[in-house]
Amino acid sequence: MTQSVVISSLRWVMLMALQIVVLNNIYLGGVFNPWVYVLIILSLPIEFSPLAVLLTGFFTGFTLDLFTHTIGMHTMSLTLLAFLRPKILALITPRDGFDFGSSVNVRDLGWRKYAVYALLLIFSHHLVLFSLEAFSSGLFWLAVQKTFLNTLLTFVLILIIQSFTAIKEKA
């Protein structure tokens, strides 16, 4: 348990740094704007209680809001993601539960299950985020368009990040 908290904290710092320092400066074509920091919540250990996940989501979103000067937007969207995570995780749990010591990543869950899990959560997060960014019914379709494109982009980037960390853990 202590070990998993330490790993989660390290992941928190590194992903936040990646998001704030690198990815926030990428805004390709006014549309592509990936939010890879959601991986922080996606990768939290399975044994974390729903309450702990929810609070982590709230404070992570608020912290990012402070850096992006969009107080409330990431707080609301990441809180929703953190609230939904235990419910989506329950959907893909095998009948006899996860193996002891398994983590929430592509390697331990398998491609198909992880894709369902990650895409659903990223989509819900992005939909709320881009809707709040638009905040008017006239811009709704632009928000939906951005949601779909960036869900895919964030997902691909998360897979790339996981391919690196998997190698590290094996070594």
Partner 1 sequence: MRKLIQVILTHYVFGLFLILELIGFLMLVRFNTYHQISYLSWLNEVTGGWNTRVSNLTQHFDLVGDNAVLAEENAQLREKLAISYLNVSNQFNPWIDTIYHQSFLYREAQVINNQLNQQDNFLMINKGSISGIKTGMGVINSNGIVGVVTDVSEHYAVVMSVLNSKFRLGVRLRNQEYFGLLNWNGKDLNHGTLVNIQRFVTVRKSDSVETLGASGIFPVGLHVGKVDSILALEESNTWEIQIALSANLQQTKHVYVMENIFKEEIIELEEATK
Q: How far is the CB of 125 from partner 1 (least distance, A)?
A: 13
Instruction: Annotate each residue in 105-144 with x if it binds partner 1 (CB under 8 A) or - if it does not, as one string.
Output: ---------------------------x--xx--------
Which of 141, 133, 92, 83 shows the shortest CA–CA distance to 115?
A: 92
Distance (Å, rounded) from C-alpha 166 to C-alpha 169? 5
Stretch that binds partner 1, among 10-18, 21-29, 50-58, 102-110 (CB under 8 A): 50-58
Exposure string over 19-39, b if 16+ CB within 10 A, otherwise e: bbeebbeeeeeeeebbbbbbb
Tell whether residue 2 is a contact of partner 1 (CB under 8 A).
no
**Segment near partner 1 (CB under 8 A); pick from 17-25, 70-78, 89-97, 116-124:** 70-78
CB 64 within 8 A of CB 16: yes
What gap in Å lies between CA 19 and CA 151, rounded to an integer?
15
Q: Of 22, 72, 140, 163, which one interacts with partner 1 (CB under 8 A)?
A: 72
Residue 168 neighbours by CB under 8 Å, 6+ apart: none
Q: Is 80 in the site for partner 1 (CB under 8 A)?
A: yes
> Given the rule CB under 8 A, which residues bind partner 1?
50-51, 54, 58, 61-62, 65, 70-73, 75-76, 79-80, 83, 132, 135-136
